[in-house]
Homo-oligomer: A and B are copies of this chain.
């Protein structure tokens, strides 16, 4: 467990040997897993290889991560949090919502470009890992993005560049859905060397459809 149980008169000491070696082991596992995943991709990396490189027994891996997928998350969790924070920290003042959104999603696209071997798989897990032992983590990540998009939408509404719809979350979800599908399409198409500009252009075009709507203008 992450926080050791305290029983009797404080059985576990903060700077104790146990805690230190756990931290060191966790670090080794993270590093080993990251190296191998990035180097070989997810499927081609075996848990045995990770254990070996980390210098721990096979079983030990599964006391630090619930399963192989969670190992992936163990690595990228922090990065994804920081990525989302950075993406939403910028505040574009572009007069068109689609441009503000593309500015945000640009960071995500760039991130995936940097992880070509893992991007597709990571995306799949982010999309479909909803029922495993550590599913809440991915769930949290999705929610964070949707919430961030909702904030962008709210600001755009306050700036008067879009109309009030009464439900920013609904709009945010639609935008997130389109982004998710587009980034997937992008990675599936130019799989070998995904072209950032192409991907963002395609994304912008679809988002603009959403912004414009389909109704006859009166």
A contact set with B: CB distance below 8 Å: 97, 120, 124, 127-128, 130-131, 153, 156, 160-163, 165, 170-171, 173-174, 176-178, 180-182, 184-185, 188, 191, 205-206, 209-218
- Known contacts: A128-B128, A184-B127, A206-B170. The answer to whether A211 contacts B211 by CB under 8 A is no
What B residues does A210 contact at CB under 8 A? 174, 209-210, 213-214
What B residues does A174 contact at CB under 8 A? 178, 206, 209-210
What B residues does A182 contact at CB under 8 A? 177
Bound complex: CA A153 to CA B131 (Å) = 35
Bound complex: CA A209 to CA B177 (Å) = 13
Cβ A165 vs Cβ B211 within 8 A: no
Cβ B205 vs Cβ A163 within 8 A: no
Closest Cβ of chain B to A72, distance in Å, is 15
Report the copy number of this chain in the oligomer: 2
Bound complex: CA A212 to CA B181 (Å) = 21
What 15 new A-B contacts, CB under 8 Å, besides A124-B124, A162-B215, A211-B214?
Answer: A130-B188, A156-B214, A163-B217, A165-B209, A171-B209, A171-B214, A173-B181, A174-B178, A174-B210, A176-B181, A210-B213, A211-B213, A211-B215, A212-B215, A217-B217
Bound complex: CA A162 to CA B163 (Å) = 19
Cβ A127 vs Cβ B130 within 8 A: no
Name the residue in A205, A211, A214 with the highest tally of chain B Cβ atoms < 10 Å from its Cβ.
Answer: A214
Closest Cβ of chain B to A115, distance in Å, is 17
Closest Cβ of chain B to A83, distance in Å, is 21
Closest Cβ of chain B to A123, distance in Å, is 8
